[in-house]
Amino acid sequence: MGFYILSYCCIAISLAAAARLIYKQLTLPMHVRWEIYPVQHEKAQRAAYGGSYMEETDWWKTPYHTSFVNEFKYMASEILLLSGLRKENKRLWRVSFPFHLGLYFMLVSVILLFIDVVVTLWGPSAFAEGRVLRTMMGGLIVASGWFGLVAGLIGSLGLLYRRLADRDMQLYTTPADYFNVVFILVFFLCAFLTAAFVDPLFDAAKSYLLGLLTAGTYTSAYDPGQNIFGAVTIILASLLTAYIPLTHMSHMFMKYFLYHKVKWDDAPSRPGSAIESAVLQNLKYRPTWKAKHIGADGEKSWRDIASSFPKEMK
Amino acid sequence: MKKLLKLSDIAAASDCLCHVEPGELSPLPFPYDDFNQSVPTPLKPEKMKNVEASLDDTVAIGIPKPAGREEEEALVHQFLSGLKKLFEKENNWTFLQPLLLSMDHCARCQTCSDACPVYEMSGRQEIYRPIFRSEVLRRIYKKYLRTGGKITAKLTGDIDLNWKTIARLAELSYRCTLCRRCASVCPIGVDNGLINHEIRKLFSQEMGIAPKEIHDKGTIQHLKAGSTTGMTPAAAKDSAEFIQEEMGEITGYKVDIPWDVEGADILLLHNAGEMLAWPENVGAFAIIFQAAGLSWTMSSEAAGYDAVNYGLWYDDVQFSRVAVKHADIARRLKVKKIVIGECGHAHKALTVIADRLLTGDLNVPRESAMVILENIVMSGKLKFDPCKNDFPVTLHDPCNVVRAMGIVEPQRRILRKIAPRFREMTPHGVENYCCGGGSGFAIMSGYNFAEWRNLVSSRKKFLQILKAFENEAQDTPKYVCAPCSNCKGTIRDLISYYQAEERSRLYYGGLVELIVNALDGMKKPMIRFGEKPSWE
């Protein structure tokens, strides 16, 4: 039961930390525009060379339009293939790509396992043990799990090597960065050894998930105590789940904000728009910057200050 | 062998953190290889005894040295107070979200380093690496402002905070041109250019520290006298009269520059530096607009005839004041739109950044001159003879127009039509390299900073220009089209520093000059290589 409690706690921490990060982003004041072109939700023709709607005469007379399809195409290749890194830093991509692929396939494996467990518990008869669909699902889990483990192991080893051997990276790598890579490497190593020597078809993983979903009450729930590698893998996987959103590795999901809320945020402010309302709110803030030319006293608003002259002039 | 510089060295008590030795800068090809041993002229110790100059071989700000330990501590305290404000919505709503995201998600993968022309051209000096200054700020922030930071610093990266750290960080923030090439290649979306911008803001808005060229003689003078050039409204009108006469010589007919026309369709905002240094640019606009029959005006109100907004580079409050002033002038003139002339940072300042500052009737529509010029050239209203531009032309892309605004093709479509020997630089468009004069560098020339700019920050652009013309004969005149005043000033200085007019017959100018040069029916050519213009 201790393992289940650990996993529950780690999942809760992970969700809470991710929710806190996202909530904070959603409640920050609207910032000024700071986009960088190419902005991928532009029309395909323009996105190809980095053009914007501001290339049009009287652009404000045309409705602001974004292309989800163009954006999706770019994001799919960016997320799945790390195409940006591939273009700009191929040396790093060679290790970072398998590393990320390993994590993605681990995630896919967990999702597949979860589906398998749900159908075991509540699924229709077409998914019963021994039926074709169930066998196919089992095959997918094994393929995805093994692929993820091998890719992740190679990738994390490569990343660690790169951080240690590349002088430029080594100079800026902090003890926490090494810890992160080693943590993930040890996880992949333990999971690999568990799969290799104890659980090649991921049946035990399935049983653990069954137990996790039923608070250990299901009859064939897995007992991690049976095997040291299995136990360590479960502990590491749980801790890793909690740890990622607490570090810069939260870029896994925070990249959404870095791209969509900054790099590609080109929405113009139109009279009466929500953007204009947000700006009007921002102009009510009362800054306290101390330099003489600002003339802030904690009472005057941004609007007052922006429409005044600097003190040096008086 | 040079000692490997670490981040923590920024707090060290040395006289110079980074010194470039002759031969360390990226090599230049023949016939410029005699510059390969050049380094900035050493600063004179007697001149520097009261000024903070312990970062590298140049000085951008010239911060006075504190009188003693007590003053140093007070300044450190002030710095921390300003740093805290960068993360408060009341003080920094303008950039809080981008700043937080960039501070928290850097993976230190160094992809940004190879994108930075200053770092590359300096011979990869550690301090110029885009992540260097960001990481210094990040570590100070985590250690001194986050709960438990002093304990976790051993894990997340330790750094000492003393007056040396701060003085060097202030100077270091003026070794980046804010071209944001680093940000455009970051796979995560982290923006080291933005962090640098925020460091500058902290120093200006909390401590009153900024280079005099962009503050005292920049935004302050702009708001006070009407222009960063010091030009008063009366002087601006005088200049325009002179420009009209000069343009009459070229066109053979009277050219008018209309002032303060209420209800005109367009308020044209020029960088006032054009009126002084490149009056032909202002004149060329007038010729084109007049020939196209546009309804337009310039403003003779203080600040209304100078599109610049230096606040963009270092101070949100000064930025806001100038932007509001520009918009208010347009509002009172009741124009339909503001068109920004050939000034890159003015493009971004008024069109993009001020977009979330100007509300109600201050939100007057704003447009790039590139767009309206393309319309005119492509409309068929005016007749062109491209043969008049039968010389090699390359285009420099101002970062603020391309990477920051996505205005990439209009200027190219014009050039393809009027300049038969137009060729691109590599890379170009949104992947361009900065001229090296971005973020105020073009106008900063105290101590030996202009020399540092020519040797280091502009070096990549110089190499790009040479490469674009490498297959042309040495004695063929070549034209670098730079549709931005600051870029143009930087390229002018580059050409002069490397004697490139004599050695490669390299010339520079704007886009409108090329348009007018190709215009049918002109009495005289606008571009006359090697001939000194009458106003010089």
User: pLDDT band at residue A131, thresholds of 50, 70 and 90?
Assistant: confident
Q: What is the rounded distance in angstroms from the CA atom of residue A43 to the CA atom of residue A47?
A: 6
Across the interface, do A269 and B356 touch by the CB < 8 Å criterion? yes
SS3 B64: strand
Contacting residues of B for A309, CB less than 8 Å apart: 223-224, 321
pLDDT at site B371:
98
Confidence band, pLDDT 50/70/90 cuts, at residue B387: very high
Q: Do A35 and B352 touch (CB under 8 A)?
A: yes
Does residue A127 carry a pLDDT above 80?
A: no
Q: Across the interface, do A280 and B368 touch by the CB < 8 Å criterion?
A: no
Residues 6+ apart with CB under 8 A from B57: B16, B18, B19, B20, B39, B40, B42, B43, B448, B452
Task: Give the range among A22-31, A86-95, A120-129, B24-33 with minimum mean pLDDT.
Answer: A120-129
Q: DSSP label at A259?
A: I
Is residue B113 within 8 angstroms of chain A, CB to CB?
A: yes
Q: Do A262 and B101 touch (CB under 8 A)?
A: yes
Q: What predicted TM-score, i.e. pTM, was given to this entire model?
A: 0.96
Report the pLDDT value the prediction gives residue A96, as an integer from 0 to 100.
97
- How confident is residue A221, by pLDDT bands cut at 50, 70 and 90? low
Nearest to B189 among A54, A59, A255 (CB): A255
Give yes or no for residue B70 having a pLDDT over 90.
Answer: yes
Counted across chains A and B, CB pairs separated by less than 8 A come out at: 272
What pLDDT does residue A227 have? 80
**Nearest chain A CA: its distance from B75 CA (Å):** 12
Q: For residue B356, which residues of chain A lie inside 8 Å, CB to CB?
A: 30-33, 269, 275, 278-279, 282
pLDDT band at residue B344 using 50, 70 and 90 as cut-offs:
very high
Give the residue carrying structure tokens 């302050």. Answer: B220
Residue A118 has pLDDT above 60, yes or no: yes
Q: Identify the pLDDT of residue B242.
A: 95
For the ranges A3-7, B24-28, B166-170, B393-397, which has the lowest average pLDDT?
Answer: A3-7
Evaluate if residue B107 carries a pLDDT over 90.
Answer: yes
| Tens digits of residue pLDDT in B214-266 | 999 999 999 999 999 999 999 999 999 999 999 999 999 999 999 999 999 99
The minimum CA-CA distance between A277 and chain B, rounded to whole Å, is: 9
Residue B457: the pLDDT is 98
What's the rounded mean pLDDT across residues B327-337?
A: 98
Do residue B318 and residue A310 have CB atoms under 8 angstroms apart? yes
Calculate mean pLDDT across residues A57-72: 95
pLDDT in tens, A136-175: 999 999 999 999 999 999 999 999 999 999 999 999 999 9
pLDDT above 90 coverage of chain B, percent: 96
Q: B188 falls in which pLDDT band (50, 70, 90)?
A: very high
Using 50, 70 and 90 to split pLDDT, how confident is the model at A224? Answer: low
In chain A, residues with a C-beta closer than 8 Å to the C-beta of B134 are none
Nearest-angstrom CA–CA distance, B56 and B5: 13
Contact (Cβ atoms closer than 8 angstroms) between residue A237 and residue A187: yes
**How much is the pLDDT for B535?**
60
Q: Rounded to whole angstroms, how far apart are CA atoms B198 and B221?
A: 23
List the strands of the sheet with B366-368, edge to edge: B296-297, B266-269, B337-340, B366-368
In the 8-state DSSP scheme, what is residue B348? I
Question: Is the pLDDT confidence value at A314 over 60?
Answer: no
The residues in B 267-306 lying below 8 A from A, measured between CB atoms, are none
Percentages (nearest 5) of helix, strand, coil residues in chain B: 50, 5, 45
Give me the residues of A, 284-313, that contact B with CB < 8 A. Answer: 285-294, 296, 302, 305-310, 312-313
Cα(B297)–Cα(B531) distance, integer angstroms: 31
Q: pLDDT confidence of B487, banded at 50, 70, 90?
A: very high
What is the mean pLDDT of the segment spanning B144-157? 92
Query: What does the alpha-carbon distance between residue B185 and residue B163 come to, in Å, rounded to a whole number?
Result: 33
A42 part of contact set with chain B, CB < 8 Å: yes
Q: What is the mean pLDDT of chain B?
A: 96
Give which of B81, B101, B125, B203 to mutate to test A binding, by max A Cβ within 10 Å. Answer: B101
ipTM of model? 0.95
Task: State the maximum Cα–Cα separation within chain A, in Å, rounded to a whole number.
Answer: 87
Instruction: Find all residues with CB under 8 Å of B32, minimum gap 6, and list them.
Output: B462, B466, B498, B500, B503
**pLDDT at residue A125, rounded to an integer:** 73
What HEC string does B85-129 produce?
HHCCHHHHCCCHHHHHHHHHCCCCCCCCHHHCHHHHHCCCCHHHC
Of the partner residues B107, B187, B360, the one whose CB lies closest to the CB of residue A88: B187
Check: CB of residue B368 under 8 Å from CB of residue B347: yes
What is the predicted pLDDT for the residue at A38? Answer: 97
State residue B12's pLDDT score: 94
- Which of A175, A261, A309 lies nearest to residue B223, judging by beta carbons? A309
Mean pLDDT of A260-282: 97
